[in-house]
Amino acid sequence: AFKRHVLVAAISGIATAGMALQAHAATEVNLGHTLSSTSHYSVGADAFKETLERLSDGEFTVTEHTSGSLGGEREMIEGLQIGTVDVVITSTGPLGNFVPESYVLDLPFLFENYDQARCVLDSELGDELLEKMGEHDLVGLAWSENGFRHLTNSQREIATPADAEGLRVRTMENAVHQEAFRQMGARPTPMAFPELFTALQQGTVDGQENPITVIVATNFWEVQDYLSLTGHVYSPAIVLGSPILLDGLSDEERGWFMEAAAASAQATREEVSRLEREGVALLEENGMTVKIDIDIAPFQEAVQPAYEIFTSEYGTEMLERVQETA
Ligand code: EAX
């Protein structure tokens, strides 16, 4: 009887110790993005990690997965919905497929400069769009930034829409962007980002468009000779969370995620601004021919039908609200 008593005591002791351990075990948060570990997204991921781990006092640990190792942006968003991915930093490229309200932000030449774009994303309208994510099995944590997109290609210098005629240009998996490039006379080919470098290398496509940040972080000069600073569309980024993880948390815990995402967005914007100042020189040093002074009026005119197609499908209200806020 004595032995049995000791055994029971020992077992319950182990169980208690085990439970105590479990209560303190950190929850690992998987964070994914498509860019390299030198990118502005990675700077944002570092800030997210540092902030969440500090605020939660180690209750959460963040593991960053770079370069699309968790999939392309569309796949990672699906991962959030089913709970295989916890946090994603993504452009709005494929987001409209999930949350059509976000398409308005992808209209070409919608914003004239960074201040305008940031001001809209930081406004009530921006918050409203973040909340919309909740209606589509996603948690919108913060608007971050990718940057103004420019055209690169392997064939020729591009100064007018006519120069882009027939060019096979990879676009994101975004209906608004595809339409804009079709209107410009190019041949848009939607493709996930992780496939892009090889597609450029093998000549499956002639060109692509991305912000200076991405062109720098991906060494696109190795496969693209020409860059035209068209700035044809502002590319927002967003920090998204999985409802599978976040819906199970307390308000305090969710608050830590929001703060971490805000710190991430802030750090990313600073890095975007730095690369806007220093990136072009760096690309030229690496052998790219950069067309800096571009008359954007003919490009604006060429893509105008994309606005009509957008408003006939989604109405004018959202667009007008963005334009009023900007
Ligand atoms: O979000 O797919 C793209 O071109 C994006 O700009 C890139 O994945 C960063």
Alpha-carbon distance of 153 to 171, in angstroms, equals 12
Alpha-carbon distance of 25 to 304, in angstroms, equals 55
User: What residues pair up with 188 in beta bridges, in sequence order?
Assistant: 169
**What Rg do the C-alpha atoms of the chain give, in angstroms?**
23
Alpha-carbon distance of 197 to 291, in angstroms, equals 22
Task: Calculate what percentage of the chain has a pLDDT beyond 90.
Answer: 92
Residue of minimum CA distance from atom 5 in ligand 1: 91
Residue of minimum CA distance from atom 9 in ligand 1: 91
Q: Which of 65, 214, 232 to mutate to test the pocket of ligand 1 (most atoms within 8 A of CB)?
A: 214
Is 2's pLDDT higher than 50?
no
Cβ atoms 44, 89 nearer than 8 A: yes
CA of 196 to the centre of ligand 1 (A): 10
User: Which atom of ligand 1 is found nearest the CA of 91?
Assistant: 1
Instruction: Tell me if 213 CB under 6 Å of ligand 1.
Output: no
Q: Which of 146, 173, 205 to mutate to test the pocket of ligand 1 (most atoms within 8 A of CB)?
A: 146
Instruction: Tell me if 91 CB under 6 Å of ligand 1.
Output: yes
SS (H, E, C) 124-169: HHHHHHHHHHHHHCCEEEEEEEEEEEEEEECCCCCCCHHHHCCCEE
DSSP assignments along 28-44, one per residue: EEEEE-SS-TTSHHHHH
Tell me how far the alpha carbon of residue 319 is from its chain's centroid. 21
CA of 252 to the centre of ligand 1 (A): 32
| Structure confidence by residue, pLDDT tens digits, 223-278 | 999 999 999 999 999 999 999 999 999 999 999 999 999 999 999 999 999 999 99
DSSP state of 203: T
- Residue holding tokens 């608050």? 255
Alpha-carbon distance of 100 to 98, in angstroms, equals 6
pLDDT value, residue 54: 98
Measured from the Cβ of residue 272, the count of other Cβ atoms closer than 10 Å reads 24
| Structure confidence by residue, pLDDT tens digits, 111-151 | 999 999 999 999 999 999 999 999 999 999 999 999 999 99
| Structure confidence by residue, pLDDT tens digits, 52-81 | 999 999 999 999 999 999 999 999 999 999
pLDDT value, residue 241: 99
What is residue 182's three-state secondary structure?
helix
Task: Calculate what percentage of the chain has a pLDDT beyond 70.
Answer: 93
Q: Which of 33, 73, 170 to mutate to test the pocket of ligand 1 (most atoms within 8 A of CB)?
A: 73
Q: Which amino acid is at 84?
A: T
Look up residue 84 and give its two tokens: 């295989």
- Residue holding tokens 């004595």? 2
| Residue range 298-309: mean pLDDT, rounded | 95
Is 23's pLDDT higher than 80?
no
Measured from the Cβ of residue 41, the count of other Cβ atoms closer than 10 Å reads 31
Look up residue 68 and give its two tokens: 């699309």
Q: What is the mean pLDDT of the chain?
A: 94
Binned at pLDDT 50, 70 and 90, residue 25 comes out as confident
Instruction: Tell me if 214 CB under 6 Å of ligand 1.
Output: yes
ipTM above 0.95, yes or no: yes
DSSP state of 208: E
Instruction: Tell me if 210 CB under 6 Å of ligand 1.
Output: yes
Instruction: Tell me if 73 CB under 6 Å of ligand 1.
Output: yes
The string over 295-312, giving b where at least 16 C-beta atoms fall within 10 Å of a residue's C-beta and e elsewhere, is eeeebeebbeebbeebbe
Residue 130 neighbours by CB under 8 Å, 6+ apart: 140, 141, 142, 143, 238
Alpha-carbon distance of 200 to 203, in angstroms, equals 5
What is residue 214's three-state secondary structure?
helix
CA of 176 to the centre of ligand 1 (A): 15
Binned at pLDDT 50, 70 and 90, residue 321 comes out as very high
| Residue range 207-211: mean pLDDT, rounded | 98
